[in-house]
Structure 1
């Protein structure tokens, strides 16, 4: 496969030669947990960053990366834009994250772990950073964790507060979704850094982690990593409310090749619908050395989603 690196003022562009398979779209470094947003006709893709060795038996993820494209073919690597070290209360690795824009600011919701201190005895936690640009610089917007382990009690394990997803409804109300083992939902205040009410607990069919929530033509969609036969796959549910109840709709995507996990990121961009995910297909890749890929997603007339086909070819360039 021919890959050209074209230097730019911000980083480099990964140009995938025509006639060659596109997926994974990011060949280097290893990336996972894709979270796309669109701003000013540019698609920005936020990812976690796998740095584990080939022999490693666990995740090693030290920071969050940002990529961008205007044609779904050439991806500019803007490098790391945030790390757990940027949060005084945080420790450990940089797990899945998502960015949401509101009133000209960009809020970067991250999952990592909390230091043992007077507020928490440790465990997974969710923080939020803010910037005036999708490329940062980002800084801790709160000075403390938004969610920490002691705030949720429905699961006994210490890593249930991960994988944040934020959705702002048409009426301006923002919601935070997250969880491992159960789906947790809470309203956010207009400032996007404070909770606005009690946490709600749900158990969508086969839910494991990685929720992604959005709205299309009056239907709310909850897409998530679920219990596959041997590895995670993607399933989804719908509702007429951003807080459910969620009606199970079925399997959206099968397990990713050579990776135990799979993580959804869904976006409409320039008239087409895209499904981002990660797999472990690159040389020396695997469950702890993953790579982001993208394929098309198609809706039926009733709003249900056709099953996504994971392909080597990926998607076509936008002219």
Structure 2
């Protein structure tokens, strides 16, 4: 999930948070359908859209951090819409405890449809048999679940990427099925990895390849438009910035070579993390993100209390994506023309 920069930068932001909370007179969200944040009764993060017919499903993590906790995430939720304005809450689709080999952290996820089933990939903390973060896979006959562990073990463990520098590099899975029917999975923190999945969707097929683009931090997202492949991700220029932004690269093939295209967005409001999910729905493209601008009762948004947002996404004639400004209006207003 876009959660993993856990050490010095996170602690600095956490200590500075009371000052940020005092400056929130401008943070009241809009109320028009389609405005941001999308969901206001609970804190959500790491949005992952899936289009099935005339419905868009949005899978999110559920932030439950109390007081000064950084991250407390135990379950994944799903919402659906047919018009991008009104949303149906389908509740939890799965808890991290449903993976008996995992011990904590229902972090970023993505679901994909293939061969009449819905496959759900998520980052969790593995138990002590394989220390570190891992990627789980679950399956369901419905996009709203119930989902069950499809493998009984992790798809990816920290020991499978030994060149990494830390124990939480194997997070934030994104899954993509190419035109030839092959499904790929990419993931990572600090290092970005990609691998082919076997047709059974629960095993890696072949080598794991590193594809780390400039300033890659976490939260990769794969999609294709026309003949161009896109790798969008949370980026961090550690020499000049404290908070993540969204950047992207493009390629003529899912296997690269990837060309860096620059930043797509700025940072999320009040949030050092950001996480992109992209989908085409009923002829328009959308970019889902999160920030920390939502207040619920006496709880301000914070490192462990984020809120999912959405913006219109548009492309230039050469296939590059137009920079996206994050707004409170969201998709309650038409896209710029």
When normalised by structure 2's length, the TM-score is: 0.86
Match of 2:266 among 254, 259, 266: 254
The correspondence of residues 78-93 of structure 1 with structure 2, limited to 5 A, is 78-93=90-105
Give SS of 1:315's match.
Answer: helix
The correspondence of residues 116-127 of structure 1 with structure 2, limited to 5 A, is 116-117=128-129, 120=130, 122-127=131-136
- In structure 1, the partner of 2:79 is 67
Structure 2 CA distance for aligned equivalents of residues 164 and 142 of structure 1:
16
Q: Higher helix share goes to which structure?
A: 2
Structure 1 CA distance for aligned equivalents of residues 250 and 333 of structure 2:
30
Give SS of 1:147's match.
Answer: coil
Q: Higher strand share goes to which structure?
A: 1
For structure 1, list consecutive stretches of 5 or more residues without a partner in the other structure.
1-15
Q: Deviations over 1:282-304 (max 9, x none)?
A: 12112210000001011000000
Output the aligned Cα RMSD: 1.4
The correspondence of residues 1-319 of structure 1 with structure 2, limited to 5 A, is 17-18=31-32, 22-56=35-69, 58-117=70-129, 120=130, 122-228=131-237, 229-283=241-295, 284-316=300-332
Give SS of 1:281's match.
Answer: coil
Structure 1 CA distance for aligned equivalents of residues 167 and 332 of structure 2:
42
| Worse overlay, 251-260 or 47-56 | 47-56
Aligned residue-pair number: 298
Structure 1 CA distance for aligned equivalents of residues 333 and 179 of structure 2:
31
Q: Post-superposition shift, 1:317?
A: 7.7
- In structure 1, the partner of 2:4 is none
Structure 2 CA distance for aligned equivalents of residues 138 and 44 of structure 1:
15
Asked whether the 8 Å contact 2:58–2:78 carries over to 1, the reply is yes
Given the superposition, is the C-alpha separation of residues 43 and 114 from structure 1 closer, same or farther in structure 2, using an over 3 Å criterion?
same
| Worse overlay, 79-88 or 230-239 | 79-88
Give SS of 2:331's match.
Answer: coil
Structure 1 CA distance for aligned equivalents of residues 81 and 74 of structure 2:
24
Give SS of 2:119's match.
Answer: strand
Runs of 4+ aligned residues of structure 1 deviating over 6 Å after TM superposition are none
Q: Post-superposition shift, 1:54?
A: 3.2
Asked whether the 8 Å contact 1:73–1:317 carries over to 2, the reply is no
Given the superposition, is the C-alpha separation of residues 21 and 191 from structure 1 closer, same or farther in structure 2, using an over 3 Å criterion?
closer
Asked whether the 8 Å contact 1:71–1:317 carries over to 2, the reply is no
Structure 1 CA distance for aligned equivalents of residues 141 and 34 of structure 2:
36
